[in-house]
Amino acid sequence: MNKPGTDQRPLKVAIVGSGPSGFYATEALFKSGLSVQVDMYERLPVPYGLVRSGVAPDHPKLKQAIQVYANIAENPAFRLFANVTVGKDIAVQQLQSLYHAIIFTCGAESDRRLGIPGEELPGSHTATEFVGWYNGHPDYRDKIFDLSHETAVIFGQGNVAADVSRILAKTCDELRATDIAEHALEVLATSRIRDIYVIGRRGPAQAKFTSKELKEFGELENCVATVNASELELNPSSVNELEEKTNVSNKKIYELFTEFSSHAQPSNNKRRVHFSFLKSPVALLGNQRVETVRLEQNQLEGAAFNQSAKGTGHIIELQAGIVFRSIGYKGKPVPGVPFDEKRGVIPNQEGRIINGITPVPRMYVAGWIKRGPSGIIGTNRADSVATVAALLTDLDNSVFADCTNVNTDALEVLTTNGVRVVNFDDWKRIDQLEIARGLATGKPREKYTRVQQILQLLE
Amino acid sequence: MTTVVTDNCQKCRFTDCVAVCPVECFHYDDDMLYIDPNVCIDCSACIPECPVQAIFEEDDLPEDKKHWIEINATRAPQLPGCSDPMEPLPGALERKAALGF
């Protein structure tokens, strides 16, 4: 039998997830020179994954990546099947029969836990919840954040921790002209937060921020970034790390911390972001809700670039009313697909999904659900290209002949299953409505944040 | 703000940067790559990919490299786009070594 990819027998691929990885995989398939048909599945009724609901509202330029995805979506061989949950509205097994190949690009949707007592207390949140809430993600629309206490604590020193801290640090005037969700802006307007602690378990030479994100803390209207100078002392291995010529990023970050350490203490009405290092949370304490964060002082052990934080036994307590954890992300399992619980990814070899050591034919993975939550938007382009290259190499394999229902249209199956599929034209209507809604209040868009509301608009 | 390719790219053109560009803003001639500032979204994904540290955020450009802002802005729109990595230029590895990387 001929391998799929010809005009008579196009290669039919299902992509599960409509974020950057899904669109870059689609792009790579369309660039392959083969005849390809792509159906992209998305569980929300709106596309673009974390570019829509992760990238911070005050970073509008990064969201321009969406224009690239919209162009890819205009290819006549592309269909968006949004508002469809794979594993619920349609089984993976069913997809396996309808398509030659499936690529899972469904990201890392849940947070790693601190694993400490008190983590479940009211006032203890995941960064994902907060980010989803201020970005109008329907799953987090009704989360409640109590910003009435003067101190907030964020655990983690990556870019998500930076986003959460910066949104808490900014004034409403700084956020008003962004596409931040209206419900979030209303709550942030009442915030009484004055001190924001951003705490890392390792040192100032190991923080994971990009220098660009960190630099923004030096440019806020009503907030001063501070670092206690004594926290900038480095052990010999960290000095070696910063002296390494290729380690440009951490060197720049350390210079920014040094600059922040010389900032004068601000007047009382200003907010303060405190970057603090070498501390791990050991407990969250409080009667009805979080009142105190208990931390253990750490020290670094190990060779340069391989240092880990070890507790010293020295305990510090900090009064705080709200806590966010941003210490890593993991994927959620998809029914019918192997899953590595420990790493929170779909196990794979170069993008080919494996079960133990056995490859699962015609199933692939790309993006954060493949390699874990590292890198930024563009990192996923290279990653998706690599996965698609593996898929194209495999086409010679006879397993691609095993697609029993490949002549059946998946859309018919979904309609029979009673699913209201939101296609790309539907999305374009929602997109226009959101932009028009934003115009009224001087925002680039005002998102619709409830699934039912979006579906009603399309009736 | 934009992101700028500078002289270290000349005679190298490794194109590792191109693989991670989310918006295909790189262009090329026989000598090096250039970034179109009207397309670049300032994500900085390309910067750590460059094996010869040729790419800078505009704000981080050393004084003696600031003229590259104008060169990128002028050259990029005139040149073919580079959306997928290419082979480095002949002699790129020697040039990299000469640059101290």
In angstroms, the CA A438 to CA A432 distance is 10
Decide if A379 and B24 are in contact by the 8 Å CB cutoff.
Answer: no
> In which residue are the tokens 């890819």 written?
A72
pLDDT beneath 70: ranges in chain B: none
A361: its two tokens: 């034919």
Q: How far is CA A160 from CA A131, A209, A325, B23, in A?
A: 8, 9, 10, 22
Give the closest of A64, A248, A379 to B41, CB-based: A64
List of chain A residues whose C-beta atoms are within 8 Å of the C-beta of residue B55: none
Decide if B45 and A210 are in contact by the 8 Å CB cutoff.
Answer: no
List of chain A residues whose C-beta atoms are within 8 Å of the C-beta of residue B59: 215
**Three-class secondary structure assignment of A15-28:** EECCCHHHHHHHHH
Give the closest of B20, B22, B44 to A212, CB-based: B44
Question: Whats the size of chain A, residue-wise?
Answer: 459
Q: Is residue B100 situated within a structural domain?
A: no
Q: How far is CA B101 from CA A61, A84, B51, B52, in A?
A: 32, 49, 7, 6
What predicted TM-score, i.e. pTM, was given to this entire model?
A: 0.95
Q: Is residue B98 situated within a structural domain?
A: no
Q: Name the DSSP letter for residue A182.
A: H
Give the closest of A31, A65, A379 to B23, CB-based: A65
pLDDT at A402 over 70: no
ipTM of the complex: 0.94
Give the closest of B22, B46, B53 to A68, CB-based: B22
Q: Name the DSSP letter for residue A300.
A: E
Residue of B nearest to A248 (CA): B48
Q: Is residue B41 situated within a structural domain?
A: yes
Whether B77 and B39 have beta carbons less than 8 Å apart is answered as no
Query: Where do the domains of chain A lie, and which CATH numbers do they carry?
Result: 11-109+330-457 (3.40.50.720), 113-327 (3.50.50.60)
The minimum CA-CA distance between A60 and chain B, rounded to whole Å, is 9
Decide if A381 and B21 are in contact by the 8 Å CB cutoff.
Answer: yes
Q: What is the pLDDT of residues A133-173, one digit of tens each?
A: 999 999 999 999 999 999 999 999 999 999 999 999 999 99
B contact set with A (CB within 8 A) = 19-24, 41-48, 53, 57, 59-60, 84, 100-101
Q: What is the CA radius of gyration of chain B?
A: 12
User: Per the structure, how many domains does chain B have?
Assistant: 1
Among A64, A208, A251, the strongest candidate for a mutation testing the B interface, having the largest count of B CBs within 10 A, is: A64
Q: Name the DSSP letter for residue A340.
A: B
pLDDT at residue A265 in the model: 72
How many contacts (CB atoms, under 8 Å) link A and B?
55
Whether A154 and A197 have beta carbons less than 8 Å apart is answered as yes
In angstroms, the CA A253 to CA A250 distance is 5
Q: Which of residues 138-197 of A touch B (CB under 8 A)?
A: none
List of chain A residues whose C-beta atoms are within 8 Å of the C-beta of residue B60: 252
List of chain A residues whose C-beta atoms are within 8 Å of the C-beta of residue B18: none
Residue B73: give its domain's CATH number.
Answer: 3.30.70.20
Decide if B101 and A245 are in contact by the 8 Å CB cutoff.
Answer: yes
Whether B10 and B32 have beta carbons less than 8 Å apart is answered as yes
> In which residue are the tokens 């006032």 written?
A123
pLDDT at A1 over 60: no
In angstroms, the CA B14 to CA A119 distance is 47
For B31-48, give one letter per residue: b (16+ CB within 10 A) or e.
ebbbbbbebbbbbbbbbb
Any B CB within 8 A of A210 CB: yes
Give CA angle at A287 (A283, A293), nearest 5°: 30
Decide if B42 and A65 are in contact by the 8 Å CB cutoff.
Answer: no
pLDDT at residue A183 in the model: 98
Q: Name the DSSP letter for residue A265.
A: P
Taking residues A33-53, report their average pLDDT: 97
Residue A253's CB is within 10 A of a number of other CB atoms, namely 25
pLDDT at residue A184 in the model: 98
Residue B74: what are its φ and ψ, rounded to 5°?
A: -80, -45
Residue of B nearest to A71 (CA): B23
Chain centroid to Cα A38, Å, comes to 24
Q: What is the pLDDT of residues A259-318, one digit of tens each?
A: 999 987 766 679 999 999 999 999 999 999 999 999 999 999 999 999 999 999 999 999
* Closest to A153 (Cα-Cα) out of A114, A131, A117, A125: A125
The minimum CA-CA distance between A168 and chain B, rounded to whole Å, is 22
Q: What is the pLDDT of residues A99-144, one digit of tens each?
A: 999 999 999 998 899 999 999 999 999 999 999 999 999 999 999 9
Half-sphere exposure (Cβ direction) of B4: Cα atoms closer than 13 Å: 21
Sorted by sequence, the CB contacts under 8 Å of residue A458 that are 6+ apart come out as: A45, A420, A422, A426, A429, A430
Decide if A381 and B53 are in contact by the 8 Å CB cutoff.
Answer: no
Lowest mean pLDDT among A16-20, A36-40, A172-176, A245-249: A245-249
Sorted by sequence, the CB contacts under 8 Å of residue A68 that are 6+ apart come out as: A23, B22, B23, B24
In angstroms, the CA A181 to CA A177 distance is 11
Q: Is residue B40 situated within a structural domain?
A: yes
Q: Is residue B46 situated within a structural domain?
A: yes
Decide if A377 and B21 are in contact by the 8 Å CB cutoff.
Answer: no
* Closest to B42 (Cα-Cα) out of A161, A378, A23, A175: A378
Q: Name the DSSP letter for residue A363.
A: E
Q: Is residue B35 situated within a structural domain?
A: yes
Whether A42 and A83 have beta carbons less than 8 Å apart is answered as yes
List of chain B residues whose C-beta atoms are within 8 Å of the C-beta of residue A31: 84
**At A78, which helix (H) or strand (E)?**
strand A78-82
A117: its two tokens: 């007592």
Q: Is residue B99 situated within a structural domain?
A: no
In angstroms, the CA B19 to CA A286 distance is 49
Mean pLDDT, all residues of chain A: 95
3-state helix, strand, coil in chain A (%, to 5): 35, 20, 45
Any B CB within 8 A of A252 CB: yes
Burial class (CB in 10 A: 0-12, 13-18, 19+), A356: exposed
Assign A8 to helix, strand or coil. coil
A303: its two tokens: 């060779």
> In sequence order, what are the beta bridge partners of B55?
B5
Q: Is residue B101 situated within a structural domain?
A: no
Residue of B nearest to A72 (CA): B23
The minimum CA-CA distance between B71 and chain A, rounded to whole Å, is 22
pLDDT at residue A264 in the model: 74
Whether A19 and B22 have beta carbons less than 8 Å apart is answered as no
Residue of B nearest to A247 (CA): B48
A19: its two tokens: 């974020």
Decide if A252 and B60 are in contact by the 8 Å CB cutoff.
Answer: yes
> In sequence order, what are the beta bridge partners of A14?
A39, A102
Q: Which domain holds residue B12?
A: 3-92
* Closest to A147 (Cα-Cα) out of A137, A138, A128, A134: A134
pLDDT at residue A3 in the model: 85
Assign B15 to helix, strand or coil. coil
